Structure 1
Amino acid sequence: MIKSKSTKSKPKKVSIPILQQLLDKIFSVYIRLRHANQFGFCKCITCGEMLSWVRIQNGHYIDRRHIATRYDERNCHPQCPRCNIGSRGNHEKYKRAIVAEYGVKVLEELESGKRSIEKLTVADYQDKIAYYKAEVKRLKKEKGL
């Protein structure tokens, strides 16, 4: 006699690295859509090049390895691949753009985020993923993209 497998299985535990990858992806889409104009184009924060929201990247002023600023919307802006990768973030121009857009106080807050240690839980990641998925859906509808 052959035993059939149970249709009920334990829910798989999702790991933080997987959740981080999912959040990175949806957060990047959100940043690019948030800055896109009515035609779906974004301006690179450091050089001004206009690219489709699909082709431009989500550049971070403070490196992504710092969790405290990784998902801070003030730290993330559309950036062309040449500036983001080729010029390693074009850091000095990015710094000036942060100051111009938000002021020195925000720049200092972002800089201090490098020195703070933050850990996100599975629930934190899940909440952020749900929030940014809803925001992406809203922005796509709002902008007709």
Structure 2
Amino acid sequence: MTHPKQKKCAVCGGKFAQWNSLHRACSTRCALELGRKMLQRKSEQERKAWVRKKKAELKPRSKVLKEAQAEFNKFIRLRDRDRPCISCGSYTAGQYHAGHYRTTKAAPELRFEELNCHKQCAQCNNFDSGNIVEYRISLIQRIGQEAVDWLEGLHAPKKYSIDDLEAIKAHYRKQNRELERKAA
């Protein structure tokens, strides 16, 4: 058995056994010092950009999906702000949601489909299981029978990558800013 080649520590200069190609310091203390030195070389803006990038790389797909869904839902509520609940026709509900006609569990490929999602009061969305019969009647009046038939049909499955979700989030964030600007 061969022993790992002895390398020189990038901080203190001591010798240590390098176990992989990324190993550049002899101890945890030297590794922390090396990290501090690398960060001190960068300007404040570069350091902040580097930290943001590293945090984004560590963010799991589920969190990015949740953020993209939040931006999409906000867009739906802003888009339909002057309309009543699609299910019951109420204008007086305390809280409104972005209610999906085909749920995200039943049809995840329609999660970000604007035709599939409309403003819905919390009562209909949460407690009446979407009030789906009334939702369908109003949906046909709003988007037409052909579009409803398309929503109810089969769709190719989609697996959104983190980059796809970041693009969706950025798109709807931009749309939300425009809608908020128009409303003000």
TM-score (norm 2): 0.68
Q: Return the offset for 1:59.
A: 0.4
1:93-132 superposed matches below 5 A: 93-113=134-154, 116-132=156-172
Residues 132 and 143 (structure 1), Cα distance of their counterparts in 2 relative to 1, 3 Å cut: same
Greater shift, 1-10 or 42-51, is seen at 1-10
Q: Partner of 1:50: helix, strand, or coil?
A: coil
Q: Partner of 2:54: helix, strand, or coil?
A: coil
**Aligned residue in 2 for 1:36:** 81
The amino acid across from 1:85 in the alignment is N
The amino acid across from 1:59 in the alignment is G
Percentage identity across paired residues of the two chains: 25
Higher relative contact order (Cα pairs below 8 Å, separated by 6+ residues): 1
1:19-34 superposed matches below 5 A: 19-34=64-79
Q: Return the offset for 1:89.
A: 0.2
1:1-145 superposed matches below 5 A: 3=30, 4=33, 5-6=35-36, 7=39, 11-12=54-55, 13=57, 14-37=59-82, 42-51=83-92, 55-65=95-105, 66-113=107-154, 116-144=156-184
Greater shift, 99-108 or 83-92, is seen at 99-108
TM-score (norm 1): 0.85
Aligned residue-pair number: 138
**Aligned-partner Cα distance in 2 for 1:51–1:31:** 18
**Aligned-partner Cα distance in 2 for 1:83–1:96:** 14
Q: Return the offset for 1:24.
A: 1.0
Q: Return the offset for 1:51.
A: 4.5
Unaligned runs of 5+ in 1: none
Unaligned runs of 5+ in 2: 1-11, 13-28, 40-49
| Structure possessing the higher radius of gyration over alpha carbons | 2
Superposition RMSD in Å: 2.1
